[in-house]
Structure 1
Amino acid sequence: MKRPIILHPDPRLKKLSDPVPDLSDELRALADDMLETMYAAPGVGLAAPQVGVLQRLVVLDCVKAENETPRPLIMFNPEIVSASDEMNTYEEGCLSIPEQYADVTRPRDVEVRWIDRDGKERTEVFTGLWATCAQHEIDHLDGKLFIDYLKPLRRQMITRKMVKMKRELART
């Protein structure tokens, strides 16, 4: 089931998410809903706070080429266990901040540990877009948005545009 995506500014996007204590069928269903929502948007990542659930859960799939097999990942309680000193800059966007993009510099490679859909602990080193996406989504769980990496003036400008967009959407 597709879920509505919360738009910035919204206080829920700035809150710390709670760890997932136990995997339940309800949480697995939420993860499935989040994947459906992410693909429909379309996006490459989505965090539970973006659909109004303050739990440490993210979904990712950075396979963009049509001829490649999708690789959906469901991560419960993801954490970055190490990051490279080398940095990468990507133009980032966010499903909670539609039509707004900015260059953000982050570690090029990250090692992430999480619990998968079946309750197994997994660890993987991500590079390139996958590394950026994993960091972006884990930031959401800590109440941090990609615009928080920007200079204050640029961040305020984007926030003002989002307030205006939300006002216009409320009228329709």
Structure 2
Amino acid sequence: MSVWPAWEVREGERATRWLHVRLAFGDGARIDALATVCEGWVCVEDVRARPALALEDLALFADWIEAPLARASGAETGPDPGDGAGTGAHRDRSARPRGPREQGLVARAYRAAQERGADPVLAVMNETGYSRRGALRLIGRARDAGLLPSRHARR
């Protein structure tokens, strides 16, 4: 993996850095990205991949590059995900339940938010640490497993 600076914007003590990231694989596959690092947060602005990435792979890509980007920008983070640990601002997903237990957790968070009159998708995001798209994917899986009612009532 290669990381090099694109540009930086400073406002007082705060700095936002944009960095280019390139991953090249032995089989000729390549991923180029532009990422932003600011106060411990990493945001992937643009990604170009040959061959194309699936959404699940894109989420893994963001987690995988977080620590190297933070190091390149001078920020401190935890160990690399390549070392088997979680990183920076994201929750440690390795300790979270998977499969049916995860779907049960999603369904409970979703229903509790509905009962409170809160946004159920935001509740699932807060509970799991996933982005909105990831939370929606988990909610769909919980629906498919029969733990949540279908989205549209059938007549």
Q: TM-score band (shorter)?
A: under 0.3
TM-score normalised over the length of structure 2: 0.26
TM-score normalised over the length of structure 1: 0.24
Structure with larger RCO (C-alpha < 8 A, sep 6+): 1
Relative to total residues, which structure has the larger helix share, 1 or 2?
A: 2
* Rg (Cα) greater in structure: 2
